[in-house]
Homo-oligomer: A and B are copies of this chain.
Amino acid sequence: MELLDSLDHKILEILQLNNLTSQREIGNKIGLSAPAVQRRITRMRELGVIKKDIAVLNPEHLGQLITIVVQVEMEADKVEMVTKTKRKFEQTPQVQQCYYVTGEADFMLIVVVSNMKEYEKLTHELFFNNPGIQRFKSSICMDIVKSGLALPVPK
* Chain A interfacial positions (CB closer than 8 Å to B): 4, 12, 15-20, 47-59, 61-63, 65, 67, 69, 86, 89-90, 93-105, 107-108, 110, 112-114, 137-154
CB-CB under 8 A from A52, the residues of chain B are 17-18, 55-56
On whether the beta carbons of B53 and A140 are closer than 8 Å, the reply is no
On whether the beta carbons of B56 and A51 are closer than 8 Å, the reply is yes
Given the known inter-chain contacts A99-B143, A149-B149, please indicate yes or no for A54 contacting B54, CB distance below 8 A.
yes
- Complex CA distance for A52 and B18, rounded to whole angstroms: 7
- Complex CA distance for A150 and B52, rounded to whole angstroms: 12
CB-CB under 8 A from A55, the residues of chain B are 12, 15-16, 19, 50, 52-53
